[in-house]
């Protein structure tokens, strides 16, 4: 039966090629024609015979880099050598996490092959590893996707071979028990199986992968952040990140391109739990190969990337400035780290966009350089935190946190937000009262420098103890506010002894 359907489809396809798609073609035949032409044939048409030429060692790249196109028009034998490394790396400014990685990075090395290639896969597990690991590649046809062939103890290597029958962008991940924990620790990456004719050429290609992370500590709590199995089971992520760190794609690590270029993003979602609503603020995807498959959709704002899935997006750049990659489940972007920046240089085009650059009111401290926060965290850890370091860290954190209302210069907005610059309120209240304002917010009438305000400051208790200590130390030592130093321990003590305000975190 299946064979007969094929023959009919082929005859229809032939007939329509000869006669052309005339308007009198019956609709059913036209649909069959469209499908016959567009259908890649899947795995049944993905075997282009035995590998030709010398074996090729695959070029593997670390995120956000993508290996160059294979540029081949024949099937080859491609050798992949991938090493598992367990290592401590920053997950946020001043916060370290023990990641388990494919190739030393999160996500793991990007692998690029061509449909029909025979891939000889070598998985090495570094001798310093504490855990066994393996790999399940979604681009593999065969039970387990390689997992059972690659179970590898520390200091060992294993090998298996597969033919890449289906084109597409595929996730790979570790599948060693407890699987969720291995994935949560960063064990995922992407393998691109190019269609035989390659993908349309573009100017810049980037590799981005989202993942959710679970720690016993709070978001941005300084020091070492241990994995929290219960939070992972509850799907209650502490961090949701692109490329394994809050700063992986911000500040000096922002992606870079120019006006006039076409950018292609290969975006995967490692999970382990959360589905991504992937969006770039200020851009529209000209094309999205949704789910990493063969067809593309055009003119897309936000695309869903399932956990264990991927997609390819192309867009052309018309206007310079900062474009912001987010998971549009938006608390993840602004409160869990799922935010990256694409910086585009080149000439303005006022006919297309007359507005100003996206600023700190929108992005908060995500645009500020947080290097001073790292310095303060390091010093605090070694017990050498100085007043100047606290002020510098507090300045970065004040930007986009307090400055949204009180303004960068502390002057506030007349009648709406009171000044914190040269504020007689700040000068006449104790450190304890200042800490309580930040933790619990402030409502009701207040008089600042002779002006009456009766508004609402929301609780800012999502800030950690060191963040509050540093911000207040910055405020006290700026704008003639009389100086002083707020200690982290003092904030901790007041947080513990203060009833939590309605709507406040923790
Ligand atoms: Cu593993």
CATH assignment at residue 281: 2.60.40.420
Q: How far is the CA of 329 from the centre of ligand 1 (A)?
A: 28
pLDDT at res. 367: 67
Q: How far is the CA of 211 from the centre of ligand 1 (A)?
A: 15
Q: Which of 197, 223, 256 is the last residue of a domain?
A: 197
pLDDT at res. 16: 39
The two three-digit tokens of residue 390, written as one number: 């606290």
Asked whether residue 193 falls in the same domain as residue 288, the answer is no
Q: Which residues surround ligand 1, an ion (CB under 5 A)?
A: 133, 174, 176, 182, 187
Q: Is 402 marked as a binding-site residue?
A: no
Q: How far is the CA of 462 from the centre of ligand 1 (A)?
A: 32
Q: Is 229 marked as a binding-site residue?
A: no
Q: Does residue 381 fall inside a structural domain?
A: yes
Q: Could you give the number of structural domains in the chain?
A: 3
Asked whether residue 158 falls in the same domain as residue 259, the answer is no
Q: Does residue 503 fall inside a structural domain?
A: no
Asked whether residue 55 falls in the same domain as residue 151, the answer is yes
Q: How far is the CA of 179 from the centre of ligand 1 (A)?
A: 7
Rounded to whole angstroms, how far apart are CA atoms 419 and 25? Answer: 74
Q: How far is the CA of 269 from the centre of ligand 1 (A)?
A: 17
Q: How far is the CA of 187 from the centre of ligand 1 (A)?
A: 6
Q: Is 173 marked as a binding-site residue?
A: yes
Buried b (16+ CB within 10 A) or exposed e, 175-196: bbeebebbbbbbbbbbbbbbeb
Rounded to whole angstroms, how far apart are CA atoms 368 and 93? Answer: 12
Q: Does residue 376 fall inside a structural domain?
A: yes
Q: Is 316 marked as a binding-site residue?
A: no
Asked whether residue 171 falls in the same domain as residue 225, the answer is no
Asked whether residue 190 falls in the same domain as residue 319, the answer is no
Q: How many angstroms separate the Cα of 38 from the Cα of each of 31, 32, 446, 503?
A: 11, 10, 69, 53
Q: How far is the CA of 433 from the centre of ligand 1 (A)?
A: 48
Q: How far is the CA of 402 from the centre of ligand 1 (A)?
A: 42
Q: How far is the CA of 129 from the centre of ligand 1 (A)?
A: 10
Q: How far is the CA of 160 from the centre of ligand 1 (A)?
A: 17
Q: Does residue 19 fall inside a structural domain?
A: no
Asked whether residue 337 falls in the same domain as residue 212, the answer is yes
Q: Which of 138, 167, 197 is the last residue of a domain?
A: 197
Q: How far is the CA of 61 from the centre of ligand 1 (A)?
A: 20
pLDDT digits (tens, 9 = 90+) for 25-59: 555 555 555 555 578 899 999 999 999 999 999 99
Asked whether residue 141 falls in the same domain as residue 235, the answer is no
Q: How far is the CA of 150 from the centre of ligand 1 (A)?
A: 11
pLDDT at res. 128: 95
Q: Does residue 297 fall inside a structural domain?
A: yes
Question: pTM of the predicted model, to two decimals?
Answer: 0.85
pLDDT at res. 139: 97
pLDDT at res. 504: 60
pLDDT at res. 17: 39
Asked whether residue 191 falls in the same domain as residue 218, the answer is no
Q: How far is the CA of 233 from the centre of ligand 1 (A)?
A: 18
Quick check: 330 and 357 in contact, CB under 8 A?
no
DSSP-based helix, strand, coil % in the chain, nearest 5: 25, 30, 45
Q: How far is the CA of 182 from the centre of ligand 1 (A)?
A: 5
Q: How far is the CA of 104 from the centre of ligand 1 (A)?
A: 13
- DSSP characters over 353-375: --SPPP-HHHHGGGSS--HHHHH
Asked whether residue 451 falls in the same domain as residue 401, the answer is yes
Burial of 381 (0-12, 13-18, 19+ CB in 10 A): middle
Q: Does residue 340 fall inside a structural domain?
A: yes
Asked whether residue 474 falls in the same domain as residue 439, the answer is yes
Asked whether residue 193 falls in the same domain as residue 250, the answer is no
Q: Is the dihedral of CA 291, 293, 295, 296 positive or negative?
A: positive
CATH number of the domain where residue 413 is located:
1.10.760.10
Q: Does residue 265 fall inside a structural domain?
A: yes
Q: How far is the CA of 389 from the centre of ligand 1 (A)?
A: 39
Q: How far is the CA of 156 from the centre of ligand 1 (A)?
A: 13
Q: Does residue 431 fall inside a structural domain?
A: yes
Could you tell me which of 417, 411, 428, 431 has the C-alpha nearest to residue 478?
411
Q: Which helix (H) or strand (E) holds 14?
A: helix 2-19
Q: How far is the CA of 189 from the centre of ligand 1 (A)?
A: 12
Q: How far is the CA of 218 from the centre of ligand 1 (A)?
A: 25
Domain of 329 in residue numbering reads as 206-345
Q: How far is the CA of 175 from the centre of ligand 1 (A)?
A: 6
Quick check: 184 and 239 in contact, CB under 8 A?
no
Q: How far is the CA of 137 from the centre of ligand 1 (A)?
A: 13
- DSSP characters over 161-223: EEE--S-EEEEEE--PSSHHHHHHTT-EEEEEEE-TT-PPP-SEEEEEEEEEE-BSSPTT-SE
Determine how many CB atoms are found less than 10 A away from the CB of residue 356: 7
Q: Give the chain's residues under pLDDT 50.
A: 1-23
Question: What secondary structure letter does DSSP report for 499?
Answer: P
Asked whether residue 191 falls in the same domain as residue 247, the answer is no
Q: Which of 197, 223, 247 is the last residue of a domain?
A: 197
Quick check: 211 and 108 in contact, CB under 8 A?
no
């Amino acid at each position: 039966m299946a064979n007969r359907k094929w023959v009919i489809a082929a005859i229809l396809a032939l007939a329509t090629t000869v006669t052309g798609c005339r308007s009198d073609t019956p609709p059913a035949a036209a649909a069959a024609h469209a499908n016959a032409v567009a259908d890649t044939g899947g795995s049944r048409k993905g075997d282009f015979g035995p590998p030709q030429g010398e074996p090729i060692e695959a070029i593997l790249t670390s995120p956000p880099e993508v290996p160059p196109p294979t540029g081949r028009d024949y099937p080859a034998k491609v050798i992949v050598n991938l090493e598992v490394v367990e290592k401590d790396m920053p997950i946020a400014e001043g916060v370290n996490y023990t990641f388990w990685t494919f190739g030393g990075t999160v996500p793991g090395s990007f692998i690029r092959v061509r449909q029909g290639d025979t891939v000889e896969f070598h998985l090495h597990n570094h001798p310093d590893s504490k855990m066994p690991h393996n790999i399940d590649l979604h681009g593999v046809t065969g039970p387990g996707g390689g997992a059972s062939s690659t179970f590898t103890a520390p200091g060992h290597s294993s090998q298996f071979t597969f033919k890449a029958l289906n084109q597409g962008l595929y996730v790979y991940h570790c599948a060693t028990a407890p699987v969720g924990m291995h994935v949560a620790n960063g064990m995922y990456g992407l393998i691109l199986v190019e269609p035989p004719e390659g993908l349309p050429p573009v100017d810049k290609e980037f590799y981005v992968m989202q993942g959710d992370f679970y720690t016993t500590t709070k978001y941005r709590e300084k020091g070492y952040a241990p994995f929290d199995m219960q939070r992972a089971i509850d799907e209650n992520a502490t961090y949701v990140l692109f490329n394994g760190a809050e700063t992986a794609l911000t500040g000096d690590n922002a992606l870079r391109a120019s006006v006039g270029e076409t950018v292609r993003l290969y975006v995967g979602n490692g999970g382990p739990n959360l589905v991504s609503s992937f969006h770039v603020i200020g851009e529209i995807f000209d094309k999205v190969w949704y789910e990493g498959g063969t067809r593309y959709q055009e003119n897309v704002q936000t695309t869903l990337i399932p956990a264990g899935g991927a997609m390819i997006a192309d867009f052309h750049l018309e206007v310079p400035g900062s474009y912001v990659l987010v998971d549009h489940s938006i608390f993840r972007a602004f409160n869990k780290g799922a935010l990256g920046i694409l910086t585009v240089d080149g000439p303005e085009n006022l006919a297309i966009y007359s507005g100003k650059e996206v600023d700190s009111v929108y992005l908060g401290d995500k645009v500020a350089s947080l290097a001073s926060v790292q310095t303060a965290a390091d010093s605090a850890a070694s017990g050498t935190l100085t007043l100047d370091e606290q002020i510098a860290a507090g300045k970065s954190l004040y930007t986009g946190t307090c400055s949204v209302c009180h303004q960068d210069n502390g002057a506030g907005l007349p009648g709406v937000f009171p000044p914190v610059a040269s504020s007689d309120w700040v000068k006449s209240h104790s450190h304890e009262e200042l800490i309580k304002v930040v933790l619990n917010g402030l409502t009701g009438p207040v008089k600042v420098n002779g002006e009456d305000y009766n508004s609402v400051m929301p609780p800012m208790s999502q800030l950690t103890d060191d963040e509050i200590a540093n911000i207040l130390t910055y405020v006290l030592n700026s704008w003639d506010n009389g100086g002083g130093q707020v200690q982290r321990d003092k904030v901790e003590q007041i947080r513990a002894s203060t009833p939590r305000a309605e709507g406040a975190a923790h």
